[in-house]
Structure 1
Amino acid sequence: MSATHTAEFEHAIHTANIWLKAVSEALGTDDRHLAHRVLRAWLHTLRDRLTVDVAAHFAAQLPELLRGVYYDGWVPSGAPVKYDRDAYADRFAQEARIGAGDVPRIAPAVTAVARGHLSPGQLERALAQLPHDVRTLLEPTPAPAG
């Protein structure tokens, strides 16, 4: 492998690690395995609820290695999968191997990380495709005015 390819691969790993570190910090944990499971679950549950076109446009904004995670196991012919807030939370919890009661805290934390790393408007275009009840599960609760 040439030095250029090695550098490109190292950059892809570095970028994915930046995201994982940000998710870990947002969750208040040093458990990178948890951060990976949660990020993967967030990407998959979002992807599967989007139309194929919106899912592909969203993927184009992801870092290379995370794009691979995003597409892993995808069945575009079945998209979008229609599920409500409870089914979304159950699927997220099952894939992330967390308790369903943790989803309302964890999913918005990952959304905030994604928002901080994606081009402006990209996440909003994807979230706009979701039913309101699912979108509210993914959105951070606004801080009280004060």
Structure 2
Amino acid sequence: MTRMIHVFERTTHEAHEWVNDLAGRTGWTNEREVLRLLRVVLGKIRDHLPNEEMAQFSAQLPLILRGMFYEGWQPKLTPVHERHAAAFVAAVEEKVGDVMTYRGVTDIKAVFNTINAHVSRGEVEDVRACLPQELRDLWPSP
């Protein structure tokens, strides 16, 4: 019988906590779609952050989500300087708009609130400070 390495058990449990939290906030029942929404929004946040802030933020993510956070990252293209929340929302919608229950900004805010619940207040404030004002306005204060 093979035993799972403890760090894998813990990070799997922590990632499930995030997904379950977000599922509760969105009302979505398909965990794959919930995870996709989380991954897309985290990726869009990542692309706005300078490298040092990106590293500090990702250190508070469960190991599995941290891997997903960096997946597809192209350092030479970041940070992006999107000024308008509408562009951020459109980029998320391009990736998850096919989910029948997707509600745009409401679901994006659910991701932000999930982050607020699992990442330290100081780190959330640091990340929000790196974003353009329209995105800060979209992300509820922790």
TM-score (norm. length: structure 1): 0.85
In structure 1, give the amino acid aligned to 2:114.
V
Cross-structure match for 2:90: 90
Q: Match for residue 38 of structure 2?
A: 39
Give, in whole Å, the separation in 2 of the partners of 1:104 and 1:120: 22
TM-aligned CA deviation for residue 55 of structure 1: 1.1
Alignment RMSD (CA, Å): 2.1
Structure 1 unmatched ranges of 5 or more = 141-146
Count of matched residue pairs: 138
Give the distance between the partners of 1:129 and 1:98, measured in 2 at CA.
29
Alignment of 1:11-50 (within 5 A): 11-50=10-49
1:115 aligned partner: 116
- Listed one character per residue, the Cα deviations across residues 43-93 of structure 1 (whole Å, up to 9, x for unaligned) are 001000111111111111111000001000001121111212121111111
Runs of 4+ in 1 over 6 A off after TM superposition: none
Q: Show structure 2 runs of 5+ residues with no match.
A: none
| One-letter amino acid of the counterpart of residue 90, structure 2 | D
Measured in 2, the distance between the counterparts of 1:77 and 1:52 equals 11
Using structure 2 for the length normalisation, give the TM-score.
0.88
